Amino acid sequence: MSVEKADMTVKEDSLLLSGDRCFFTLQGEGQSFGKPATFLRLHLCNLRCSWCDTPYTWNREDVRFWQEPERWNLDKVTTEVSRFPCKRLVITGGEPLLHGKALDNLLDHLGPEWVFEVETNGTMLPTEKMIERGIQFNCSPKLENSGNLKVARYRPEVLKRLNMLPNTSFKFVVTQPEDLKEIEQIISECDLDDDKIILMPEGVTQEAVAEHGRMVAELCKEKGWRLIPRLHIMLWGNTRTK
């Protein structure tokens, strides 16, 4: 059953799931690119990216925002993620770190055999429990091309803290040549490690992904950065989940 409008709140004993909820697919981000992974897509986000492919997690003008989400307690989450033959749990969104305390409780609820990843936009600090657990953070700092105001999307102190953690990568979505100057400026200002930098070409078609990828391939070779495609688009096209 979908939640009521008045119940679009963050709670410590449960998680608010988007319409995608829990699914099993291949990871298309970060250090574990291409690996099988169980995904948990959380509702709500603190940014409003113009090219976002999950607007139903944050856009209150989208009817799916109100009709699709469900609230699961931690027992329900455990049951659902355990249905799949994979102990790698990728927590995505939306912005998962909005649910910080509930995620801490989920770490306690699931056993030590689980490997956790959190996909974040780099505007919120992780909790100490997440850091102690050694969670992999797949951070995607947003650029001007996202349409968000800089004061909302760019938090250097957060990026610097994430850079200190061994299991962090920084993915930048590239849409045009002008993005590259901004990316280099962020990397310089926050002193991000080159071996943690990933460029991902934006696009909702294979042709667009390839075109934008060719645009930055030489720079990746020069800088020692990684270039990865949008795996979901390359395999299944512009569909919600697989």
Q: Return left, alpha or beta for 229; rule: phi > 0 is left, psi -120 to 50 is alpha, else beta.
A: beta
Task: Provide the residue range defining the domain that includes 9.
Answer: 5-172
- The answer to whether residue 90 sits within a structural domain is yes
Supply φ then ψ for residue 76, to 5 degrees.
-65, -45
Token look-up 């090219």 returns: 51
Token readout for 130 is 């997440």
- The answer to whether residue 219 sits within a structural domain is no
- The answer to whether residue 28 sits within a structural domain is yes
Q: What is the pLDDT of residues 199-236, one digit of tens each?
A: 987 766 777 767 777 888 888 889 999 988 777 666 66
Token look-up 């760019």 returns: 154
Helix (H, G, I), strand (E, B) or coil at 198: strand
Q: What is the pLDDT of residues 165-198, one digit of tens each?
A: 999 999 998 888 888 999 999 999 999 999 999 9
Q: How far is CA 63 from CA 68, 191, 202, in A?
A: 8, 41, 25
- The answer to whether residue 178 sits within a structural domain is no
For position 105, which CATH number holds?
Answer: 3.20.20
Q: What is the pLDDT of residues 137-162, one digit of tens each?
A: 999 999 998 999 999 999 999 999 99
| Number of domains into which the chain is organized | 1
End-to-end CA distance of the chain: 22
